[in-house]
Amino acid sequence: MALLDGKRILVTGVLTDASLAFGVARHAQEQGAEVILTGAGRGLSLTRRTARKLPAEAAVLELDVTDATQVAAVRDELGARWGRVDGALHAIGFAPPSCLGGGFLDAPWEDVAVALQVSAYSLKTLADVVVPHMADGGSIVGLDFDNSTQAWPAYDWMGVAKAALESTSRYLARDLGPGGIRVNLVAAGPIKTLAAKSIPGFQQFEDVWDERSPLGWDVKADADAVARACIALLSDWFPKTTGEILHVDGGFHSVAT
């Protein structure tokens, strides 16, 4: 039996076939799951195009996590199509240009608020979408870049948002656990994706990661390792794991400078 045989998985964050979320969607299908993707805004057409590259073309629903109308519509559509959701991948993040690149003190609250809502609060928003369809339990997995204890060059308010994402996942794990719903994060090493290209100074991560990681790190090839970890957490093989951050970063996080 495949790891996700018969499961129904909602996957956010697919833009191109280089997206970490695309690898998760592909593996999910290969492991027996039925998959629906979501996309938003100008990226929606990219998501629809990329959906055709999966082993089986996936349906795409429009989900802007800042739009309550779309949130409700996707929740209702999942109920109508599936009736049951077994898992969801949160791969959503955005920060306005002022929040990245070294101008930490200059970013206005209006921009910081966008970064926090889209990149952290949206995990709770995704839970609002899928939890009503998880009467028999389920798994919510989010993609993270571990920022809770360090300040990274140029990452600025996105780092703050990721730290908030980590805290949000723990509180969701607390409140959803009694219903058999697990909430975990996968903290990935840097991967060359469309989203990564928008981060000023991303090259600085690339330059040091492979050198410092005990297992080494390839910013292209190791996306698959991240996807496999997500699939494991979406499966039934971690029935008593929640509120956890699983590092898939070659061991970088464990080694001092």
Residue with tokens 């952290």: 120
Tokens 């300040």 sit at which residue?
A: 151
Q: Per-residue pLDDT tens for 42-89?
A: 999 999 999 999 999 999 999 999 999 999 999 999 999 999 999 999
Query: What is the secondary structure of 197-223 as a DSSP string?
Result: HTSTTHHHHHHHHHHH-TT---TTTTH
Question: In the structure encoding, which two tokens stand for residue 220, read together?
Answer: 């292209």
Catalytic status, residue 155 = yes
Q: How confident is the model at residue 152 (pLDDT cuts 50, 70, 90)?
A: confident
Q: What predicted TM-score, i.e. pTM, was given to this entire model?
A: 0.95
Going from N- to C-terminal start, the domains of the chain cover 8-249
Neighbours of 237 (CB within 10 A): 10
pLDDT at 167 over 80: yes
> Catalytic residue among 53, 155, 220, 240, which?
155
Top-level class of domain 8-249: alpha beta
Supply the pLDDT for residue 210: 79
221 confidence band (pLDDT: 50, 70, 90): confident
Confidence of residue 220 (pLDDT cuts 50, 70, 90): confident
Please state which of the ranges 75-79, 136-140, 153-157 shows the lowest mean pLDDT: 153-157
| 192 a catalytic residue | no
From 121, 162, 171, 192, the catalytic residue: 162
Name the helix (H) or strand (E) containing 27.
helix 20-30
Query: Which two three-digit tokens encode residue 114?
Result: 């966008």
- Measured between alpha carbons, how far is 178 from 232 in angstroms, rounded to an integer? 21
Amino acid at 204: Q
Amino acid identity for residue 187 in this structure: A
